[in-house]
Structure 1
Amino acid sequence: MATGDLDQLTYNYSAEEDEEENEDFSMTLIEHLEELRWRILKSLIAVTIFSIVAFVFRDQLIALLMGPFPKMAASVTHGKLVVTGIAEGFTVYLLISVVAGLIVSLPVILYQIWAFIAPGLRQGEKKYAVPFIVLGVVLFAAGASLGYIVLNYPLEWLLSFGANSFTELISANSYFSFVAFFLLAFGLAFELPLVLTFMAKVGWVNTEMLKNKRKVAHVGIWIASCFITPGADLYSPIFIGVSLSLLYELSILFIHLVVGKQAAEAVS
């Protein structure tokens, strides 16, 4: 066989092999997208189920969320908020139920996230599934609880700011939207250690990097804390700023214990 024919045969074989590899890659990508679709669908089903359960207990949820409502405003509204439309009462109940369903279904959502990324992990890394879910739930619950405790401060500041010039008619939609955003902001902000640990696992950050950027990070945290919390009171940014600074330092220790030298070598 001539040398040219041999080269042509080799080229054709390589082209066919590359085409098969590309086809396998495309099939793998499609399978990943299908897997992602099912994980999202399962998460949405969990949120829907828990939202329905929360809607059944809507009166208890309303009573719980009305706990931080300032007494100065309660004397004006006689303990009840204003609705400005025929359907607003229903939409407010629906909003509260969906937010409650989202919070309660957090373990399911975290599990679906972990199950999606687990096939790409080493066998030794899969043992962190339960700590990942538990830590995520605990951190979110701690953040939302802190937000509930300090919620009274921004409410009092906002309601008293224009009290000399205006009569406040507090609608149920505005109040519960504010409360839902406030609690979600605190809960998600407390996921900082989980986010940094994940970034360390994939090699984007390491403990030395976090230590070297400590000053910049804390300044950024305190600036962000002023925008994360709605309202302009003094106390909420202080609470969340102190909490996030402590969580940042805790993240460094947590990454050192969980990731160890592996992350340090990945971003060296």
Structure 2
Amino acid sequence: MPLVEHLRELRGRLTKAVLAIIAGAVLAAVFYAPILELLTQPYYAMQPILEAEGIESELVITGVGGAFQFALKICLVVGLIVASPFWLWQLWAFILPAMHRHEKKWALILAATGAPLFIGGAVLAYVVLPKAMEILIGFVPEGFGSLVTGAEYFDFIIKMLLVFGVAAEIPLVVVMLNRLNIVSAKQLAHARPWIIVSLFVFAALATPTTDPLTMLFLAGPMTALYFISELIAKVTDHRRAKRAANAVSDDEASPLE
């Protein structure tokens, strides 16, 4: 296909992807009330705990157009998520013709494995959110109140979901590096102490909170997933060594019978 045709195809697929995201945003606007309730549930779950400690906290929206901007931001992000299967497919369909058969296979494996891992990490972040906010807002001095704007609250949720979702992809990266024969299970086992320390440092730096509990909620599953990926790498290396031992060299004479 000529370059101009590639550019036309790219333009068409980008247009379809943008229209799908807009349609998802419109759908999110229709169901804005339940979506907002789902997003604010972690905040209202920890609010009574803070009140019992004498800390008054309130979720507010500031500015004349603050409510509209807040709703628009939520709808666009939800629309992006809802339409993700379609616009990811458009991206995949554009790249697919240039890939070899084995590359298509590994791309499908990556997509099929990476998506559940990311979703699992995001779900864990949603579960951790009330405790994280309770600890952070709990630093409010006695005699002070806490006003949390809608924009700040939504940004905090997005950061937590993204950090936990991306962190859950660590075993996938390790397994792929092993499959590509870049690192071996023996190397992973030798570097295990340093990797675990690095995971905890990453958890401490990546989480928007500063409390050790949220860091443990992130670092703990990351460490467990790393051990699982190391076990998978060990099995892969064992199979690779067995296959190499049974392989016949090109210079070796074939048996007569």
The reply to whether TM is greater than 0.5 is yes
Quote the Cα distance in structure 2 between the aligned partners of 1:254 and 1:101.
Answer: 36
Correspondence for 1:6:
none
In the TM superposition, 1:20-39 aligns within 5 A as none
What SS class does the counterpart of residue 176 from structure 1 fall into? helix
Match of 2:114 among 131, 136, 152: 136
Q: Which amino acid aligns with 1:57?
A: F
Q: What residue is the counterpart of 1:178 in the other structure?
A: 156
Aligned-pair CA distance for 1:39: 6.3
2:229 counterpart SS class: helix
Return closer, same or farther for 1:191/1:110 CA change in 2, 3 Å cut-off: farther
Residue identity matched to 1:63: E
Q: C-alpha separation between the residues in 2 aligned to 1:90 and 1:239?
A: 34
Q: Deviations over 1:104-137 (max 9, x none)?
A: 3444455456556655654244334544323222
Match of 1:71 among 47, 64, 68: 47
Q: What secondary structure, in the 3-state scheme, does the structure 2 residue paired with 1:170 have?
A: strand
SS at match of 2:222: helix
Q: Which residue of 2 aligns with 1:89?
A: 67
Corresponding position of 1:219: 197
Alignment partners' CA distance in 1, 2:204 and 2:31: 34
Q: Is the 8 A contact 1:153 1:233 kept in 2?
A: no
SS in structure 1 opposite 2:64? coil
Superposition map of 1:1-268 within 5 A: 43-69=17-43, 70-72=46-48, 76=56, 81-108=59-86, 111=89, 114-115=92-93, 118-119=96-97, 121-200=99-178, 204-254=182-232, 261=240
- Partner amino acid for 1:180? I
Q: What number of residue pairs does the alignment pair up?
A: 235
Residue deviations 1:189-217 (CA, integer Å, cap 9, x gap):
21223333444555544444433322221
What's the secondary structure of 2:116's corresponding residue? helix
Structure 2: how far apart are the matches of 1:205 and 1:54?
A: 44
Shift of residue 168, structure 1, vs aligned partner? 1.1
The 1:49–1:126 alpha-carbon spacing in structure 2 relative to 1, beyond 3 Å, is same
Partner of 2:251: none
User: Quick check: 1:157–1:232 contact (8 Å CA) kept in 2?
Assistant: no
RMSD: 3.6
Structure 1: stretches of 5+ with no match in the other structure: 1-26
Structure 1 residue 248: Cα displacement: 1.7
Q: Deviations over 1:57-82 (max 9, x none)?
A: 121111011111122358946xx621
Query: Given that residues 197 and 251 in structure 1 are in contact (C-alpha distance below 8 angstroms), is that contact kept between their aligned partners in structure 2?
Result: yes
Relative to structure 1, is the Cα distance of residues 190 and 38 closer, same or farther in structure 2, using a 3 angstrom cutoff? farther
CA 1:162–1:141: 2 relative to 1, 3 Å: same
Bigger mean CA deviation after superposition, 32-41 or 51-60: 32-41
The two structures have a TM-score, normalised by structure 1, of: 0.71
Distance 1:94 1:106 in 2: 18
Identity of aligned residues (%): 33
What secondary structure, in the 3-state scheme, does the structure 2 residue paired with 1:166 have?
coil
**TM-aligned CA deviation for residue 50 of structure 1:** 2.3
Give secondary structure in 1 for the equivalent of 2:209.
coil
Shift, 1:165, TM fit: 4.5
Structure 1 residues 67 and 247: CA distance shift in structure 2, 3 A? same
CA separation of 1:54 and 1:205: change in aligned 2, threshold 3 A: farther
Structure 1 range deviating more: 158-167 or 247-256: 247-256
